[in-house]
Every structure is written in structure tokens, then in C-alpha cells.
Amino acid sequence: MTQTTVYSHPLTLFILVRALPAWLALSRAERQDIAASALPRDDTQVRLFDCEAFSAMCSDIWMLSAPGVGALNTAMERLRDTPLFAQPYFDFVAILPVIENGWRDFEAAEAGQA
């Protein structure tokens, strides 16, 4: 019988986006207002990374981290109802789900320590 590994770490999404001209045409104050009203709250942590000076693939990386799948799903559903998703402000290049140091839980389970 195969044991299922239970991961205790938060689930994190890296969302790679490319800013479109409609976003860049907004004033910085307008962008800040839209972002402030759209970014998840509650138990979801958000970090924003600026990378257009270093990459042609994407202009920004949004990192959302939540205690579990349900909280992250709620954050993404709420984001979908905001202008960040509803307006053509960004191309979504990739959404990458990750578990930070997930190998530790795997190794513990394999060793019978979970």
C-alpha cells in the first residue's frame, strides 16, 4: 500500500505577467489604486517582483502564498473579479504552483516520520 504524503507547507503561486500598453498608459497613481483594491487580503500573502529590466519573457512576477489550496483558490477567484484580470492590462505568461521545500515532507514521509 502506498502512503500519501501530506504537505504542511503553504501553497505558493508564481504568476508571470507582461504589462500591456493599457496598463502602462495609466498614471502611477491609477495603477496603485487598482492594485491596492485588487490584491488579496485575509490569509493570502502577496509579493510583487519587477523584472522587465532583466527579462523579455515577463515584466512582473506576482507571488501569492496561502495556507492551503482553498485559500489560494479563493484569492484567485477574487482576483478574477478585479480590473487586473477583467481589463486587458496584462498578458498572463504562466501560473506556476509550488511548495516551498516540499522535499522535506516527502523525505520525512518516506522515512516514516510523518
User: What pLDDT shows up at residue 6?
Assistant: 58
The structure's pTM equals 0.82
Is residue 41 helix, strand or coil? coil
Each domain of the chain, given as residue ranges in start order, spans 11-110
- Topology of the domain covering 11-110: Alpha-Beta Plaits (3.30.70)
Residues 9-57 pLDDT 10s: 789 999 999 999 999 999 999 999 999 888 877 889 999 999 999 989 9
User: What pLDDT shows up at residue 16?
Assistant: 97
How far from 31 is each of 13, 23, 27, 49, 91, CA to CA, in Å?
22, 7, 6, 15, 16
DSSP 48-88: EEE-TTT-SS-SEEEEEEESSHHHHHHHHHHHHTSHHHHST
